[in-house]
Structure 1
């Protein structure tokens, strides 16, 4: 089974959030940054990677995504600010 990544991209600090899952985080974030596709993140300008978590398999990442999609917005913001209080774009951490 493939590794999985759960991630949050934002339009800006405290802006619109998008929670997603992928097996290839650098490629998926590049797609978000360049506006590839016609989805939610493109429509709302969610291009800044502000949080991510690695899982040993994609299934576990998807299960966690389903849980977190039910979370209140404040809980997601708290999660981001715990590890990334400045809401820095974490692209450089994954694009090596």
Structure 2
């Protein structure tokens, strides 16, 4: 059985949110924090992981990532908190 994928939401130093997917949130946050993550987090250093949600595979995590990136900023955290409470 493959390991689950996670959709995560990071708060950056400038107040922006960054969403991504990974199988290891701790390692991915460390990559972002040390400048080895996405271009966005190199320019906007991360402060903390706000929320995450688990998915059974990369495909479903990618679809959720696409969806959350379409949401206005105010609804991103609420969306992830809603997923977390639904599980």
**1:11-90 paired onto structure 2 within 5 Å:** 11-12=12-13, 15-37=15-37, 39-79=39-79
Give the number of the structure whose residues are more often helix, by fraction.
2
TM superposition score normalised by structure 2: 0.75
Aligned to 2:6: 5
Please tell me the root mean square deviation across aligned C-alpha atoms, in Å: 2.4
C-alpha contact 2:50 2:77 (8 A) present in aligned 1: no
CA–CA distance in 1 between the matches of 2:58 and 2:46? 22
Gaps of 5+ in 1: 83-96
Native 8 Å contact 1:16 1:46 kept in 2 = no
Q: CA deviation at 1:22?
A: 1.2
Give the strand-richer structure, 1 or 2.
2
How big is the shift at 1:45? 1.5
- TM-score scaled to structure 1, two decimals? 0.69
Gaps of 5+ in 2: 83-87
Q: Which runs of 4+ in 1 moved over 2 A?
A: 77-82
